[in-house]
Amino acid sequence: MNKVLYNNFNLLRLLAALQVVYLHAVEHLHIKNEIALFIGSIISYFPGVPIFFLISGYLITMSYEKNPDIKEYTKNRVLRIFPGLYVSFFIGLIILWYFGQFHGVGVMDVVPWVFAQLSFFQFYNPEFIRDFGVGVINGSLWTISVELCFYIVLPLLYIFLKKDFFKRVSLLLIISFGFYYYINEISSKTFIYEKLVQVSMLPYLFYFLFGITLYKFKDNLIKYIENKVLLFLGLYAILCILKFDIFLYDVVKQVVFSIFIFSFVFSYKSLSHKLLGNNDFTYGVYIYHMLIVNVMVEKGISGGGYKTS
pLDDT tens per residue, range 81-114: 999 999 999 999 999 999 999 999 999 999 999 9
Calculate mean pLDDT across residues 258-262: 98
pLDDT over 90, % of the chain: 83
* Sign of the alpha-carbon torsion through 190, 114, 86, 82: negative
**Does the residue 307 lie in any domain?**
no
Question: Looking at the DSSP assignment, which residues form a beta bridge with residue 302?
Answer: 305
Which of 68, 56, 9 lies closest to 208 in space, CA to CA?
Answer: 56
**Does the residue 303 lie in any domain?**
no
**Does the residue 297 lie in any domain?**
no
Q: Which structural domain range is residue 30 located in?
A: 9-291
Task: For the beta carbon of residue 101, count every other beta carbon within 10 angstroms.
Answer: 18
**Does the residue 1 lie in any domain?**
no
Global pTM reads 0.92
Question: Looking at the DSSP assignment, which residues form a beta bridge with residue 305?
Answer: 302
- Please provide the average confidence, as pLDDT, over all residues in the chain: 92
CA angle 306-308-309, nearest 5°?
155
- For position 191, what pLDDT does the model report? 77
pLDDT band at 303 (very low <50, low <70, confident <90, very high): low
Split into its structural domains, the chain has a count of 1
Checking if the pLDDT of 209 tops 70, the result is: yes
**Does the residue 261 lie in any domain?**
yes
**Does the residue 216 lie in any domain?**
yes
Residue 261 is classified by DSSP as H
For residue range 22-65, list pLDDT tens digits in order: 999 999 999 999 999 999 999 999 999 999 999 999 999 999 99
The answer to whether the CB of 293 falls within 8 A of the CB of 138 is no
**Does the residue 121 lie in any domain?**
yes
**Does the residue 302 lie in any domain?**
no
pLDDT over 70, % of the chain: 96
